[in-house]
Structure 1
Amino acid sequence: MRVRRVVTTRAGGASRPPYDTFNLGDHVGDDDGDVYANRKRLAAELGLAEDKLAWMEQVHGRTATTVDGSETGAAEATDALVTATPGVALVVLVADCVPILLADAEAGVVAAVHAGRVGTRVGVVPAAVAAMREAGAEPQRIEALLGPAICGDCYEVPAAMAADVEKHVPGTACKTRKGTPGLDLRAGLWQQLAGLGVGKIGVDPRCTNEDKTLFSYRRDGTTGRLAGITWIEA
């Protein structure tokens, strides 16, 4: 089965500043009509019907929800979506958190995961991999993409916070460019995925805080959300 993965940028949408222009988040204060236009364009660009895009009400937790395309509205209070249904595209929204796209092409199972500091700490990635296994995936066949996110050079946090996350997910604590305590979530998540037996792990090195073609909450405060999307071609 062919797996597709897409990561969006700020370009090509209808939203006005400070959400300019391809904001896909409907929870950030943007005009509902502009967000709808952007989501409609996203579906068209992907070659999918609008109702085949599965969204989440992301809450920085560890809940993984399995969907089949029959659902209406966003999955409530969840930070990982899993499907084994071809043609259903799973969407994760971020603006510094790590979007993780997982796929076992042989089993025909994909997942989209929202992994911010809190979700990473409480185990959203192991929960997503467990849900994929329940759907028929095998970790050694899973390919993972860690998408654009704030990098360790930029993600400054209090020392106690860095130590706390490091205790739960080793490899996350780092020093920022300024030499202050920081977090490199993708580094820790890479180690966590490897520890779970995931067979292939790729990293998109772009930093949302540094790359102005991407949305960043840390840099801009009020801003839009980019998307990571994955699906199995029908």
Structure 2
Amino acid sequence: MGLDILTDDSLSPFRHGFFARKGGASSGIYQGLNCGHGSSDQTACVDLNRARVAEALGVEKTHLLTAHQVHSPDVIHVTGPLSQPLPKADALVTATPGLAIGALSADCQPVLFADTKAGVIGAAHAGSRGALTGVLEATIDAMENIGAGRENIAAVIGPSISQPAYEVGPDFQEEFLDQDPENQQFFKNGQGDRLQFDLPGYGLHRLRKAGIGTARWVGECTYSDPSRFYSWRRACHNNERDYGRLIASIRI
């Protein structure tokens, strides 16, 4: 079975993809291409899934790199394979050919970055916490530090939870408004005191405000399409014990 890969022309000619569930070796609640060793899936299945992603990107499986994600604004510049235990960070950048850098997600925003002129790429995991504390801007800064030009950077947000599916409480909203009252535009009223948060809209806002060349979202909701995407929130609503992780990756 072939893989289901979303791509975007703004990241070309670099090989890249937002990989959906199709074509994986995992079964049960992880059915499909689960690429997260942080899940309780069988290690052999996750290894095989990641090897299929590496093959699709044309790199050695040891050169498909992801970090130990902790919802932080921390970024690592990588120049070779990462050793175990994986460093804690939520974004990677590189200018080294032959490396594929990626982000794992299951509702949070996976964001791929490219400056095709300078030959610099980035990959970030940006949930609400990471986006609020600056992981997107930190990734852009780190790319500039290794030769990228801010005005030449393209960023694409992959499949993420959409506003109708992302219900939050007043305390969540208050934290965003405390940082910037203009963040009210990313909330709309739900039932009772619940609100709905526009995570990809907020991500696009932060990216565009950072002054990069282009920024867009692929328009796919992880929560709403269980056949294609994993979703932490959907797993919680279904009382499932765990969930798979999607991968987004790019290489020079």
Question: What is the TM-score with the length of structure 1 in the denominator?
Answer: 0.93
Provide, for residues 135-155 of structure 1, a one-character-per-residue CA deviation record: whole Å limited to 9, x for no partner: 111111000101110011110
CA contact (8 A) 1:156 1:176 kept: no
Q: 1:186 aligns with which of 187, 194, 200?
A: 200
Query: Which consecutive unaligned segments of at least 5 residues does structure 2 have?
Result: 1-11, 237-241
Partner in structure 2 of residue 95 of structure 1: 106
Are 1:227 and 2:241 an aligned pair? no
Q: 1:30-179 to 2 correspondence within 5 Å?
A: 30-73=41-84, 75-168=86-179, 170-171=182-183, 173-175=186-188
Quote the residue 2:9 is aligned against: none
* 2:187 aligned partner, one-letter code: C
Amino acid at match of 2:121: V
Shift of 1:19: 0.6
Mark the runs of 5 or more structure 1 residues left unpaired by the alignment. Answer: none
Report Cα offsets for 1:189-226 as digits up to 9, x if no partner.
11111111111112111100001110001001321011
3-state SS of the aligned residue for 1:111? strand
**Pick aligned residue for 1:205 from 219, 236, 244:** 219
The answer to whether the 8 Å contact 2:123/2:249 transfers is yes
Q: Structure 1 residues 63 and 125 mapped into 2: Cα distance closer, same or farther (>3 Å)? A: same
CA RMSD, Structure 1 to Structure 2 (Å): 1.8
Q: 1:176 Cα shift?
A: 6.0
- The separation in 1 between residues aligned to 2:84 and 2:113, in whole angstroms, is 22
- SS of structure 2 residue aligned to 1:18: helix
Alignment partner of 1:21 out of 27, 32, 50: 32
**Equivalent position amino acid for 1:223 in 2:** Y
Q: Match of 1:175, as an amino acid? A: K
The 10-residue stretch of structure 1 (179-188 or 53-62) with the greater mean CA deviation from structure 2: 179-188
Q: Secondary structure at the match of 1:87?
A: coil
Measure the CA separation in 1 of the matches of 2:216 and 2:86.
27
Aligned equivalents of 1:158, 1:58: Cα separation in 2: 24
Distance in 2, Cα, partners of 1:16 & 1:106: 41
CA-CA distance at 1:47 after TM superposition: 2.0
The equivalent residue for 2:232 is 217
Query: Matches of 2:95 and 2:155 in 1, distance apart?
Result: 16
1-structure distance, mates of 2:80, 2:33: 24
Q: Which range moved further: 168-177 or 2-11?
A: 168-177
TM-score computed with the length of structure 2 as normaliser: 0.87
Amino acid in structure 1 at the alignment position of 2:36: G
